[in-house]
Amino acid sequence: MPIAIKMPALSPTMEEGTLSKWLVKVGDKVAAGDIMAEIETDKATMEFEAVDEGTIAAISVEEGTEGVKVGTVIAMLAEEGEDVDAAASAEAKPAAEAAPEPAKSEPKADKAPTPAPAPAPAAAKAATGDRIIASPLAKRIAEQKGVDLAAVQGSGPNGRIVKADVEGAKPGAAATASAPAAAAAPAPAPSAPATAQGVGIPHEVEKLSGMRKTIARRLTESKQQIPHIYLTVDIRLDALLKLRGELNKALEPQGVKLSVNDLLIKALAKSLVAVPACNVQFAGDTLLRFKRADISVAVSIPGGLITPIVKDAGSKAVSAISTEMTDLATRAREGKLAPEEYQGGTASLSNMGMFGIKQFDAVINPPQAMIMAIGSGEKRPYVVDDALAVATVMSATGSFDHRAIDGADGAQLMKAFKELCEAPLGLVA
């Protein structure tokens, strides 16, 4: 019996994805564990492995197709000894059976005739009376170009119309006489963005990526549902910068170079352990209290932001944190992180100091209950030992979920963070 290969859920929150690339073609034999395709989620591009063995009988979704819902059949697999052509045709059977056959005899007098439902545009009939079979991508291109699929000869399996067939067709091709209903239904005109209508300002329309849609949805939910409270402290960095220089000299033979961010990750983790009232998560009528500090670190990547996690950062050496962050950030920018490497975490750290940002309020990354926003370290007038001096000072702002964390507890965390950064030997103890 043919096996339907469906779009997998590659993360707990995945609802749809982009089928970036097929690594197999019709007729190829696959075994369990073979890589079949590359699928782009909202955060990363991941490999999709076969779980059964057999022969690829049909590919239902062309590579490059966006917005493929989880559970959509993307290919058909013929089992060992099964007819490949029969397996390929199995994917069209449910749709073909969906339209009832016209009644072959007059209805009985005691029953009213049941009207046949109007066919959907994508289920137009060809001259032979068969349903037109086309890939979703081919249908979308045909709609954009104004090509009538009834006039296109399919080159795919079992006559399926694929992308190449539609791209080579002439726009406005006449429909066959047997399909006037399909030709009569005009394609809906694309609507202009509401903000651009009637304005006349030159602009480009850019389709949102899956990542940008997810960022927009999650941050909107965060600001709408989480009551934020913001607490800011100024931190003198001179001692931390001196320690960093000394550690980098000692670690040079190992090829490790610590960043200020590596030390701040350790400082936030140790502060959360020291103030456990802030290492929590609001969960409706319960509160989750975490026994370790997993720090999500904001990393800018093309098209958005991702937060790889340094797990149990409070118990790791700063050199280990540095090595781990280098690896995580590199793979994040390449789209190669596994879901468990960026989903979870007990708190977040976002550093915009490298852009010269003095201070900012970060939006909490749900379902976490706090995020630390780091500004740039800069020379400022500062009181040192009751005298005015010039010091390297950084502003740090904690955003807290006020449902889970009281202001006094948040203040304790900011105090612990400041003390660790200003007396940084505690980071290597």
Annotated catalytic residues are: 402
What CA–CA distance (Å, rounded) separates 373 from 380?
A: 19
Strand order in the sheet with 16-22: 45-49, 35-40, 16-22, 65-69
Distances (CA, A) of 188 to 68, 119, 140: 21, 17, 12
Quick one: which of 159, 168, 170 has its CA closest to 135? Answer: 159
Q: Which residue pairs, CB below 8 angstroms and at least 24 apart, start in 298-302?
A: 298/348, 298/349, 298/350, 298/351, 299/328, 299/329, 299/332, 299/333, 301/332, 301/333, 301/335, 302/333
Residues 6+ apart with CB under 8 A from 258: 244, 247, 248, 251, 318, 319, 322
Tokens standing for 284?
């409706």
